Amino acid sequence: MSLPTSTKAWVLTQYCTGPLSESENFALREFPIPELKDGEVLVKVQTIGLEPAMRPSYSLEKSYREPTPLNTPLWAFGVGEVVASKSDKLKTGAIAYGLFSMSQYHVAGPETPFLMPVDPKIGKQVLSLFAPPGLAAHVGLFEIGELKKGDTVLVSGAAGATGSIVIQIAKRVGAKKIIGIASKRKLDAVLADGADEAVAYDDDDFEEKLKKATGEDVNLYFENVGGKVLDAALGCMAAYGRIAVCGMISQYDSIGGDRNSFEGIKNIRYILTRRIKMQGYICSQVNDEAVPKAIKDLGAWAHDGSVKAAIYTHPDKGVEHCIKAFQGLLTGANTGKMTVDF
Amino acid sequence: MSLPTSTKAWVLTQYCTGPLSESENFALREFPIPELKDGEVLVKVQTIGLEPAMRPSYSLEKSYREPTPLNTPLWAFGVGEVVASKSDKLKTGAIAYGLFSMSQYHVAGPETPFLMPVDPKIGKQVLSLFAPPGLAAHVGLFEIGELKKGDTVLVSGAAGATGSIVIQIAKRVGAKKIIGIASKRKLDAVLADGADEAVAYDDDDFEEKLKKATGEDVNLYFENVGGKVLDAALGCMAAYGRIAVCGMISQYDSIGGDRNSFEGIKNIRYILTRRIKMQGYICSQVNDEAVPKAIKDLGAWAHDGSVKAAIYTHPDKGVEHCIKAFQGLLTGANTGKMTVDF
């Protein structure tokens, strides 16, 4: 097989100032593939994962991420076949995982974050387990949330890629009770993941039902949603509760907009009266050991079957569907990790 | 001198469900003084201190304090003269300090928290230094806020008993910059305590001025006020900032009342995007060493003059003015520790 000399890759052409538009903000461009240096491999991408965490890179607002450079291939976690190798660790024919790009082909090497062979027993789950969903779940639960056996655990966004893994880890560690918050139509998925109760945020009696389900005895709240869900959750915390703030997806559309478009949190006083610790985090920035530990644990748990990452495969195959799939992710089209096969 | 056989003491007659009312929630009652047992002393109270921390005890809402029992003398830190003694440690004539009650006379003994002779060099300052203001300042800054040299420190309620000590301790430890938030008329007191800048929350341009004064570079925010002050402070935090939540005095009169009377916090998203840790605490419950360490440090610093507790003496003397003084405390009538002399 002759090797390709160029690859199609998605780039950002203009920073987003509101809802993103494929035609206005992005373009699929052709890039030459450079010759491999020692230690490098050429990966033919088979599947990429889409991350909510990509969104902050696409605008200029001050955030925990630098804006992505314009007109260069966008970052994306991917799985693919090694089609050429100057590496001792990944030979031609191997299946590799790493922080690649939204491209058909990607040159990876010693500097590529997360580069590793894919364990066949884990397969595409790696795009959730060793990527933001799994890492954020593990690091948030253990390093920030101090999860321990016997805890009552509440999680919002419970049917999402991260929430699903949070439930499974909490179950594995021996939580006393796990309560998931999701939309009405996703409650079954939450229970199927192992939650003891599932409460719908789009139910009229949401707050009352949450108080009843939790008994106001939540030791650890894993926060993905923000807004009225956070407000209700604050009222359900036990004394000395911990809140791991992984995301606040309900509020993202307000960023950069009018201050009044943010939901005001009324129950913040419970931080004081119930002596709660609430902490935001980016899993790669917590400490040097957190992510390697998460990868080790999640790999072992995927092997023994106690944690399983649900993977959603976009119905349209090919690099050209990446941005469309990302837009679907932001509007909740998927249950489980959003991926695109090439 | 013949010893008294009864004492007037304030009791709660009905739990507060909104702003407290002296006539509806409290009564000054006469109680018999029991005979002293071995180890006990009878203290004629000279001065009591009023604490914001009393407020949660006065309503039934679940909190860090059990609701105070109705119709029994209310707790209060006090200084007084020992007028009868069955104790080896506090003889008649000694000046004693401890967790007494809102009464003219109080029987104290081995079970009385904080019971100790008053160091003449500290005097009435003990009601601030070894009481909630001083202890909360020390424990909040060090144990919760992880104060270190070079930090930019922001404190609200900066002219209050706790805020004043926070500024002095931060100065002593070598903070890079200290910014205090108070009402316009109290800004001078904040600067006099050693703050580098003072910002008025009752200024129309409050948020803008706070951003300018802090440079959005606050490493440690010491929170006493809540509401719009907290909201503005959240927008001024640096990455990895710590917020020690000592109090939220602006919200206390809403406790037990209508949910909508609480201020909604719009800037909560910064907890995530700036990876902030926000933690509520009660200084006596942080760990076993925190309070003894605070007492040791604050005693030494009061002796060497680096920390001085401002004491506000209510203009009306006598036990009958306690509730009025407490109401004044909640509405910010005092600068420094609110006390009532009997």
pLDDT over threshold 90, residue B254: no
Across the interface, whether the CB atoms of B275 and A63 are under 8 A apart is answered no
What residues of chain A lie within 8 A of the CB of B63, using their CB?
273-274
Across the interface, whether the CB atoms of A226 and B276 are under 8 A apart is answered no
What residues of chain B lie within 8 A of the CB of A244, using their CB?
none
pLDDT recorded at residue B258: 67
Q: Which residue among A251, A268, A278 sits closest to B269, beta carbon to beta carbon?
A: A251
Q: Residues A93-120: what's their mean pLDDT?
A: 97
pLDDT recorded at residue A250: 74
pLDDT recorded at residue B221: 98
pLDDT over threshold 70, residue B252: no
Across the interface, whether the CB atoms of A268 and B63 are under 8 A apart is answered no
- How far is A227 from B265, CA to CA, in rounded Å? 10
The class level of CATH for A6-118+310-341 reads alpha beta
Q: Which residue among A273, A275, A280 sits closest to B56, beta carbon to beta carbon?
A: A273
Confidence of residue B257 (pLDDT cuts 50, 70, 90): low
Q: Residues B85-93: what's their mean pLDDT?
A: 96
Across the interface, whether the CB atoms of B277 and A272 are under 8 A apart is answered no
Whole-number mean pLDDT of chain B?
93
Q: Which residue among B62, B245, B276 sits closest to A272, beta carbon to beta carbon?
A: B245
B121: number of Cβ within 10 Å: 10
| pLDDT per residue as tens digits for the range A2-24 | 889 999 999 999 998 878 899 99
Q: Which residue among A230, A273, A275 sits closest to B268, beta carbon to beta carbon?
A: A230
pLDDT over threshold 70, residue B1: no
Q: Which residue among B56, B260, B272 sits closest to A245, beta carbon to beta carbon?
A: B272
In the CATH hierarchy, which fold is given to the domain comprising B132-282? Answer: Rossmann fold (3.40.50)
pLDDT recorded at residue B7: 98
The 3-state secondary structure of chain A reads CCCCCEEEEEEECCCCCCCCCHHHHEEEEEEECCCCCCCCEEEEEEEEECCHHHHHHHCCCCCCCCCCCCCCECEEEEEEEEEEECCCCCCCCCEEEEEEECECEEEECCCCCCCEECCCCCHHHHHHHCCHHHHHHHHHHHHHCCCCCCCEEEEECCCCHHHHHHHHHHHHHCCCEEEEEECHHHHHHHHHCCCCEEEECCCCCHHHHHHHHHCCCEEEEEECCCHHHHHHHHCCEEEEEEEEECCCHHHHHHCCCCHHHCCCECCCHHHHHCCCEEEECCHHHCCCCHHHHHHHHHHHHHHCCCCCCCEEECCCCCHHHHHHHHHHHHCCCCCCEEEEEC
CATH superfamily of B6-129+310-341: Medium-chain alcohol dehydrogenases, catalytic domain (3.90.180.10)
Q: What percent of chain B has pLDDT over 90?
A: 81
| pLDDT per residue as tens digits for the range A87-105 | 999 999 999 999 999 999 9
- Of B72, B65, B59, B126, the residue nearest B95 (C-alpha): B126
More confident residue, B273 or A80: A80
Q: Residues B274-296: what's their mean pLDDT?
A: 93
Task: Give me the residue spans of the domains in chain A.
Answer: 6-118+310-341, 132-285
φ/ψ of A74, rounded to 5, equals -75, 145
pLDDT over threshold 70, residue A258: no
What residues of chain B lie within 8 A of the CB of A259, using their CB?
266
Q: Which of A258-262, A323-327, B333-337 comes out lowest in average pLDDT? A: A258-262
More confident residue, B251 or A281: A281
pLDDT recorded at residue B167: 98
Across the interface, whether the CB atoms of A272 and B62 are under 8 A apart is answered no
pLDDT recorded at residue A74: 97
Angstroms from A112 CA to nearest CA on chain B: 25
Among A50-64, A162-176, B253-267, the range of highest mean pLDDT? A162-176
Q: Which residue among B62, B226, B272 sits closest to A247, beta carbon to beta carbon?
A: B272
What residues of chain A lie within 8 A of the CB of B268, using their CB?
226, 230, 248, 262, 265, 268
- How far is A339 from A78, CA to CA, in rounded Å? 9
pLDDT recorded at residue A257: 59
| pLDDT per residue as tens digits for the range B10-58 | 999 999 887 889 999 999 999 999 999 999 999 999 999 999 889 888 9
pLDDT recorded at residue A46: 98
pLDDT recorded at residue B248: 86
A–B: how many Cβ contacts below 8 A? 110
What residues of chain B lie within 8 A of the CB of A52, using their CB?
none
Angstroms from B322 CA to nearest CA on chain A: 24
pLDDT recorded at residue A34: 96
Q: Residues A298-303: what's their mean pLDDT?
A: 96
Angstroms from B86 CA to nearest CA on chain A: 38
The class level of CATH for A132-285 reads alpha beta
- How far is A96 from A92, CA to CA, in rounded Å? 10
pLDDT recorded at residue B262: 78
pLDDT over threshold 80, residue A124: yes
ipTM for the assembly: 0.89
More confident residue, A181 or B330: A181
Across the interface, whether the CB atoms of B262 and A266 are under 8 A apart is answered yes
Confidence of residue B137 (pLDDT cuts 50, 70, 90): very high
Confidence of residue A27 (pLDDT cuts 50, 70, 90): very high
Angstroms from B281 CA to nearest CA on chain A: 5
Q: Which of A248-257, B70-79, B184-193 comes out lowest in average pLDDT? A: A248-257
pLDDT recorded at residue A262: 77
Beta bridge partners of A26: A12
- How far is A313 from A181, CA to CA, in rounded Å? 24
pLDDT over threshold 90, residue B241: yes
